[in-house]
Structures are given as structure tokens and as C-alpha cells.
Amino acid sequence: MHVTRIIALAALLGLLDAVASPALAQDDAIGIVADPCTSEKTPEQVPTGQWNAYLFAQDFGQLCHYRAQNAELIKAGNKPRVVFMGDSITEFWGQQDAAFFTHGKLDRGISGQTTAQMLLRFRQDVIDLHPQAVHIMAGTNDVAGNTGPSTLEQVEGNIASMAELARAHGIRVILASVPPAGRFPWRPEVQPVPIIRALNRWMQDYASRNGFAYADYYRATATPEGAMKPGLADDGVHPTRKGYAVMEPLAETAIQQALGPAR
């Protein structure tokens, strides 16, 4: 995609405070290169308000995010038991309760990501690490439209593609429901409740039809109206430590369903 089209898309999505300056400079790497991550800039090196547009153009899937950590694991021969693939809800889980990510559980969440971005990095952040299982929790940011509009079928297809890639590589699959949200603070015009419910109905059915484990966080954390229960999320979307405490036993049960008790 041409850089100007990327900037225009980012502007329409509200990702730029200003679009007067190009997101990419003339000295930025483009096309096929030996190592895109060596030329990736930091937020401080990008003009104010253009960081998200820069990432869209330079590293849409954010494959550079965990690349160094993955390389260390592979070099050491450390294979995780379960990789948790997801967005900010997964990333913040590790920050809120690092102790949960022990006994071979590995956090590979990236804030703001949609299923399309996760699918791009699925080989690097899951398959190449050779885990026994993968826990996929995705869809919140698709419903919010973080990378533009999509159909429900496209989101379902991205999740199915990740699950099928895992199965093809001998990795057990745990699908996690999209957590409830009555509204998105960063996209208040979106009405997420009916879409999240529809996506979760499809995901539970898809997991059942394919013999995948299913972690139903939604049922445990949602109000009858489809919002997050009071006290489980400060912003109505991202769980608090109390919220993750509700989710963790369900995650462990799903892992046991997929793999059996921890050895």
C-alpha cells in the first residue's frame, strides 16, 4: 500500500493528530530488506501524532515487538507450554499478574491489535516457539475498528486461520471468548454488545465443532446487559487485577482440557 494511502487511512481512523508531515522519511527502509527491525524507529524518533501511522507502514503486524525475546527462547531451547496470543487484555494480564505466567505460560499480547495483525505475527510469536498449546483471545479491537472496517466473517476467518495453523503444527488450541464491553472509551460511537455476543456464539460453536478448548470469560465477567461487571475493569474493557483473578481459574481449566494437568 502506498504511504500516502496509509496516512490517509490512519487519519480516518483517528490515529493521527496531524498529517502534514509524512509518516515515513526518505531514509526509512522499504521493500524487501535483510532485517526490517534494525531500521525501526522508536516513538521518540517519529513526529508527534504519527507513531501509529508509522507502525502501520513499517511493521503492521508488529513482528519486531517480541522478536528479540523469541530469539532468546529459541536459542536457549526453551519451549513454552502455552503461548497466550492476544491484544492489550492479554498484554496487561502479564503486567497485572506476572506470577500467572509461570509453569510454561508465555504472554504474547500486543496492545491495540486486531485479528489481522495477530495472524501476521502468529508464525513468529507462536508456531516458531513450538508450544504445546496456544490461547487465542482476540476480537475486541476488530469490533472497535482499530485497523478499519471489517465484516464479522472476516474476523472469524482470521481467528479460524490462527487455530488451523496451530493445529497443522501439532499445537493444541484454546479459544477464549471476547470479554464483555458496554462501550469503548477510545471509540464511543461503536455499540459493541451485540457484535461481541455474536462473535462469542460463533467462537464457542467453532471450538466445539473442532475439538478445541473454550475459555468462557464472557459468562463469568458480563452483566446481563453485556457490560463488564463493576469492579472487574476500571475502563469497562481492560480487566483489573480482580478481573484477571476471575479469569485465571477458567484459563487453567481450559489448559487442562487441552493438555491435561501441568507436569
Per-residue pLDDT tens digits for 54-87? 888 889 999 999 999 999 999 999 999 999 999 9
The model's confidence at residue 5, banded by pLDDT at 50, 70 and 90, is very low
Q: How far is CA 202 from CA 140, 152, 230, in A?
A: 15, 10, 26
The model's confidence at residue 26, banded by pLDDT at 50, 70 and 90, is low
> What is the structure's pLDDT at 56?
86
Mean pLDDT of the chain: 90
Q: 21 or 179, which is more confident?
A: 179
> What is the structure's pLDDT at 140?
98
Domains of the chain are 3-58 (no CATH), 67-259 (3.40.50.1110)
> What is the structure's pLDDT at 230?
97
> What is the structure's pLDDT at 27?
64
The residue type at 218: Y
> Tens digits of per-residue pLDDT, 139-157?
999 999 999 999 999 999 9
Range of weakest confidence among 40-54, 86-100, 207-221, 226-240: 40-54
> What is the structure's pLDDT at 9?
47
For 13-36, what is the mean pLDDT? 60
> What is the structure's pLDDT at 31?
84
Range of weakest confidence among 38-47, 105-114, 212-221: 38-47
Residues constituting the chain:
263
> What is the structure's pLDDT at 23?
53
The residue type at 197: R
> Tens digits of per-residue pLDDT, 169-190?
999 999 999 999 999 999 999 9
Q: Are 98 and 123 in contact (CB under 8 A)?
A: no
> What is the structure's pLDDT at 25?
63
Q: 12 or 247, which is more confident?
A: 247
> Tens digits of per-residue pLDDT, 233-252?
999 999 999 999 999 999 99
The model's confidence at residue 28, banded by pLDDT at 50, 70 and 90, is confident
Q: In this structure, what C-alpha cell is assigned to residue 151?
A: 465484516
Residue 98 has pLDDT above 80, yes or no: yes
Q: Are 140 and 185 in contact (CB under 8 A)?
A: no
User: Up-side HSE of residue 3: CA atoms within 13 Å toward CB?
Assistant: 15
Beta bridge partners of 174: 135, 213
